[in-house]
Amino acid sequence: MIEQIRIEQLELRARIGVPEVERAQPQRLLCSVAIEPAAQPSQDNLQSTIDYAALAALVRQIGNAQVFRLLETLAEHIAEKILEKFPAREIRVEIRKFALRDAAFTSVTARRAAGEK
């Protein structure tokens, strides 16, 4: 039984940050996604599961599509769009940002379940 499909530390570039100067250029972010599929894959068929290449492309497209002030907003937006496009029971999205010199990274995690707003 498949419990989760994961993409770990997918690199994306996004214009994000509270100060305008921080949003001036795209920043490197790492995004990890864990999906609990709504159904089990059948007969070794990509159509019956979550295409992780399409999932990665969606995450990158969202990061590139608009400017965000908060990591929280970006993580929530990614989680919502994944639920709209892929058959999942639950989604977890973690985004890491490298904004503090004295920390390895800062991060936020968003969780959404199917049918939840």
Domain extents for the chain? 5-113
Residue 59 tokens, joined:
């995450």
Condensed to tens digits (0 to 9), the pLDDT of residues 22-39 reads 999 999 999 999 999 888
Higher pLDDT, 87 or 45: 87
Provide the percentage of residues in the chain whose pLDDT is more than 90.
79
Q: Are the C-beta atoms of 95 and 13 separated by less than 8 Å?
A: no
pTM: 0.91
With beta carbons less than 8 A apart as the criterion, state whether 2 and 37 touch.
Answer: yes
- pLDDT surpassing 80 at residue 41: no
Q: What is the mean pLDDT of residues 71-92?
A: 95
CATH architecture of 5-113: 2-Layer Sandwich (3.30)
